[in-house]
A and B are shown apart, each in its own frame.
Chain A
């Protein structure tokens, strides 16, 4: 083993029927290091993690762990835990109806008796030492997602791990919570724990990591010290080509200024919903792409949900093409030609067990009505058409949508709304948790739709993505619409200042 390494994986191979998921991959983690594992969807990140944690048996290669002679044998997650490897997954895998302390000790008490007092005080000490704002006897479900995530980490830390794997820990956290999590990570780093950080957020990688290992198509691209690898290069390494696509999009965005004089498609006044936002005014013109921006929880999603009738609308008027309409439920909005891609793809978007085909035709079918079913042949034609058009990677149109990757699921939901031929399409975080290639495709699609005269409202947590696509930005703060930026005001600094607020009130 190398000097200072806690974990060494050499020549790891993993085959699935017909695919080489991992091919001769090396990975080294040093003591007290935060190491990013990067790659597009399907590059082999999660396979590598699953091999390391014993979820999948490996088909070749060796794993060495500090303190264990020879090659380590990891056949199950339990083995991995005993070898000092702990994992915190993207989705919280703890029990929300147990207390924080119970969650930290579950499965680790010896014998039938539990010493509650010792357990609670032990948990309390760890929480305090890591600065996690939760009490041991609190129900886990009553903590914020970030705190739950931290409790999961505390549990891992308490098991005296040498290697901590964080799989997309930040995707459901807002910025302040991310800062807290990073603090915790740095703290662990100083204690000598090696951390493997899997994420899609480039900015976060550059903020917290020491090294990056890039995978592509199941192969190792390379290991880099963070200072030696500028962002653009990282992206090009992940995609495997010198990439001008990003620049391309920026060039096109200059053209979106034309949308300033079209007729308004939708105008809303004093719109307010039961989700707890302040009444807001909103309008969008034909062929315009605008966006809501603001921190997570600032009310961006609630605004568009109010427009679509997804939440109970309490007041306000809406005009479509100048005529006043009542939108009380999603179907009303759909009949007015509005489409809505929701933020929570898994919870609100896909219908998991249904096939790709059924998922694509669903909204169009509902609009046609219950007594006019789309024939099988026609449904197949629709599905095949969009599978080809959006390059959805799926075994067939009959595959259950849940077995597709996140990006492809999102494309299916997009296809669903495109099929209804909407005048106005709302896309709430369409690019979250999606690989860069698909992100760019979706951004391009948005601009293409605008060219065809459709109006699009685009929401994204990544400001540069919004800058690339939107010609006007509505800024939200604390559930209130606080500003509108367009033209020359559309710069990163100006947006940040508006989001942060302060000087204008």
Chain B
């Protein structure tokens, strides 16, 4: 008696569906399939790809080394950015293309703080946590700037963030009077390399922590529901008591936090910064990660785990190409081919066709009978 009234059409349709069709309809089908393909390719081509060994690093500490470790390590910044980018995409139906430039700002601010007035510092002049918090505050402001342009001035996200995309790296250079600060304090590099005595790269832990925090936030707040509602129908959301503009702004500020964390990891890998090259083109990979994760770039419903998987797929691909000694100048071309395949495969039109492939013979058999 308590069962809800069901649509007769749907009730009959469900059992009909083949496993294949239900599988291809899953949002995570494409990133998981892409990952599986990459793994399979490497397994067949050269199983040693997956070998993980203990090696001594430059400081003489034993650390884990291998392609898999390198994928997990190097994907960190991209994964963190992809999370923030997913929220921005969902709420505003557009993307922030300034994340690479604002990562430069975050890195610049953090270096400036720890170097104090010196250009080359041997010890940190400020508590590292405080320096990172100041970096986060800075990129939150830039996120708020982008978000305000999008939410309150109704400027298209890509155009609004084009401003910071253009100006960000100059601002980053200006923060340090165009000098290149270098920090030689080993403890600064813990976040980008290894903690003493721990053989796993620290960025992997930071990424895991960020993912955990977002999992908790999405579980214990209504951010997910609000973001999606605002992205799908702002007018209706407003009449349900939400403030769509504020929520859009909020997602840009959250992305700002992600940008600072990613920027911090990046500068602490080397202890220095190259304003024009740091995190170059990472915004495109971050957007790609969101799309690969099966999220519509036009906003609305999202799956944050899809984007995370997407980011790892991109890094896996890059590492695989490096392994086969594709020259770094040719890398983007190879990547493009794979990206085209992935994007075409994840297009709704193709997925619809894919899910029909298996269904056709069943239908034909029915018609005969």
Contact A392 B9 (CB under 8 A): no
B184 within 8 A of A: no
Give min CB distance, B304 to chain A, whole Å: 16
Residues of the A chain whose Cβ atoms lie less than 8 Å from the Cβ of B7: 393-395
A17 and B13 in contact, given A351-B229, A362-B225, A395-B7 (Cβ under 8 angstroms)? yes
A18-B13, A366-B242 are known contacts. Are A348 and B301 too (CB-CB below 8 A)?
Answer: no
Tell whether A391 pairs with B5 under 8 Å between CB atoms, given A18-B13, A370-B226: yes
> How many residues on chain A are close to B (CB under 8 Å)?
41
Q: Is the CB of A370 within 8 A of B233?
A: no
In the complex where A18-B13, A366-B241 touch, is A351 in contact with B232 (Cβ < 8 A)? Answer: yes
Q: Mark B1-30, 1 if CB is under 8 A from A, else 0.
A: 011111111111110100000000000000
Q: In whole angstroms, what is the CA distance A168 to B86 when docked?
A: 39
Contacts of A310 in B (CB 8 A): 238-239
Q: Tell me how many residue pairs across A and B have CB atoms closer than 8 Å.
A: 119
Give the contacting residue for A394; candidates B3, B6, B233, B243; CB below 8 A.
B6
Contact yes or no, A373 B13, CB < 8 A: no
A349-B242 Cα distance, complex, nearest whole Å: 13
Q: Among the listed stretches A158-166, A286-294, A352-360, A468-476, which one makes contact with chain B, having 4 or more residues with CB under 8 Å of it?
A: A352-360
In the bound complex, do residue B16 and residue A331 qualify as a contact, i.e. CB atoms below 8 Å apart? no
- Considering the chains assembled together, what is the distance between the CA atoms of A27 and B313 in angstroms? 56
B300 is an interface residue with CB less than 8 A from chain A: yes
A170→B223 CA distance, assembly (Å):
40
Contact check, A363 vs B240: say whether CB atoms are below 8 A apart. Answer: yes
Residues of chain A contacted by B10 (CB below 8 angstroms): 394-396, 399
A497 cross-chain contacts in B, Cβ below 8 A: none
Q: Are B4 and A373 in contact (CB under 8 A)?
A: no
Measured between beta carbons, the chain B residues less than 8 angstroms from A330 are 238-241
Q: Is B228 touching A354 in the complex (CB atoms < 8 A)? A: yes
Q: B222 on the interface (CB 8 Å rule)?
A: yes
Q: How far is the CB of A60 from chain B (nearest CB, A)?
A: 13
The 0/1 profile, CB within 8 Å of B marked 1, for residues 323-362 of chain A is 0000001110010000010100001111111100010001
Complex: how many Å from CA A123 to CA B34? Answer: 53
Is A397 on the interface with B (CB-CB < 8 A)?
yes
Partner of A373, one of B222, B229, B239: B222
CB pair B232–A352 under 8 Å, yes or no, is yes
Q: Does A443 contact B (CB under 8 A)?
A: no
B235 adjacent to chain A (CB < 8 Å): yes
Q: Does chain A have a CB within 8 A of B355? A: no
Asked whether, in the complex, the Cβ of A334 is within 8 Å of the Cβ of B4, the reply is no
- Docked Cα-Cα span, A51 to B181, in Å, equals 71
Q: Is the interface of B mostly helix, strand, loop or mixed?
A: helix
The distance in angstroms between the C-alpha atoms of A310 and B235, with both chains bound, is 10
- B236 / chain A contacts, CB cutoff of 8 Å: 342, 347-351
Asked if B241 and A334 make an inter-chain contact with CB atoms under 8 angstroms apart, the answer reads yes
Contact assessment for B4 and A331 in the assembled complex, using a CB-CB cutoff below 8 Å = no
* Interface assignment of B221: CB less than 8 Å from any CB of chain A: yes
Residue pair B4, A397 in contact (C-beta under 8 Å): yes
For residue A310, give the distance in angstroms from its CB to the closest CB of chain B: 6
Residues in B192-248 with C-beta less than 8 Å from chain A: 219-223, 225-226, 228-229, 232-233, 235-243
Proximity bits, A11-54, B CB within 8 Å = 1, else 0? 00000111100000000000000000000000000000000000
A329 to B225, CA, bound (A): 20
Cβ distance A460 to chain B, nearest Cβ, rounded Å: 19
Contact B221 A353 (CB under 8 A): no
Residues from chain B with Cβ under 8 Å of A396 in the complex: 4, 6, 10
Q: Is the CB of B4 within 8 A of A394?
A: yes
User: B227 CB to closest chain A CB, in angstroms?
Assistant: 11
Q: Which residues of A contact B240 (CB under 8 A)?
A: 330, 334, 362-363, 366, 416
Inter-chain contact B237/A351, CB cutoff 8 Å: yes
**Are B222's CB and A18's CB within 8 A?**
no
A393 contact set on B, CB distance < 8 A: 5-7
21 contacts between A and B (CB under 8 A): A17-B9, A18-B13, A310-B238, A329-B241, A347-B235, A350-B233, A350-B236, A354-B228, A354-B229, A358-B228, A362-B229, A362-B240, A366-B222, A371-B220, A373-B219, A384-B2, A387-B4, A393-B5, A396-B4, A396-B6, A396-B10
Residue numbers of B with Cβ under 8 A of A are 2-14, 16, 219-223, 225-226, 228-229, 232-233, 235-243, 300-301
